[in-house]
Amino acid sequence: MQPLAEPVSNLIEAFSKLPGIGPKTATRLTYFLLRSDESIALGLARALDELKARTLFCRVCHNIADQDPCPICANPQRDHTLICVVEEPLDVQAIERTREFTGVYHVLHGAISPVEGIGPEDLKVGELLQRIQRGQDTAAAREVDELDRVPVHEILLATNPNLEGEATAMYIARLVKPLGIRVTRLARGLPMGGDLEYADEVTLGRALAGRSEM
């Protein structure tokens, strides 16, 4: 059997490392790019290069952005006293599509999962507590970065409604409640075991409107 050309096998291997893509799908994608117009492959290469070169994590909320702070954190029209805590950047997009939420966000980049060896120290939980404390520090509130130092009145926990998401929400609630800040959770309009990024706008909008105390 004749071996594959090295550039072909390298691309198949690279595609195979992506989540949800097995060897067969990786092979189909590779041969599609081989047969397609050169501009498609070059466009993909440029997009991948720009993905790393031009994107960053917002220093305030840790969402993916192309400016720092991100447009949501930099928007004075948003309610900076209300922080919605989510697991992943895609969850921010899901909630924004509802047009029901006017606060700001904090992205944890994961959820507590002992099975996978992910603990609170692997998430942006410490940064959330620091953000809350900066808002409570009246002296710091007079410093330049005002949007990052607004007193926080409510933490809305919008982690996924599964075991990992519930564990993460309970952990954060235990840390935040003693600070005298209101802690709420998305209403149970979301299916148990589902992910926010797959929820429709109506269901997610009702869950936001019907959030409850923890």
pLDDT by 10s per residue, the chain, length 214: 667 899 999 999 999 999 999 999 999 999 999 999 999 999 999 999 999 889 999 999 999 999 999 999 999 999 999 999 999 999 999 999 999 999 999 999 999 999 999 999 999 999 999 999 988 775 444 444 565 678 999 999 999 989 999 999 999 999 999 999 999 998 877 777 778 888 888 778 878 877 777 7
> Under CATH, what is the fold of the domain 6-54?
Helicase, Ruva Protein; domain 3 (1.10.8)
Residue 118: DSSP 8-state: B
Phi and psi at 56, nearest 5°, equal: -150, 175
What are the extents of the domains in the chain?
Answer: 6-54, 64-213
Residues 6+ apart with CB under 8 A from 90: 196, 197
Provide the whole-model pTM.
0.78
Best CA proximity match to 113, nearest among 62, 185, 166, 176: 166
Q: What's the CATH number of domain 64-213, 3.40.50.720, 3.40.50.300, 3.40.1360.10, 3.40.50.10260?
A: 3.40.1360.10
Specify the pLDDT at position 153: 95
The pLDDT, as a whole number, for residue 52 is 86
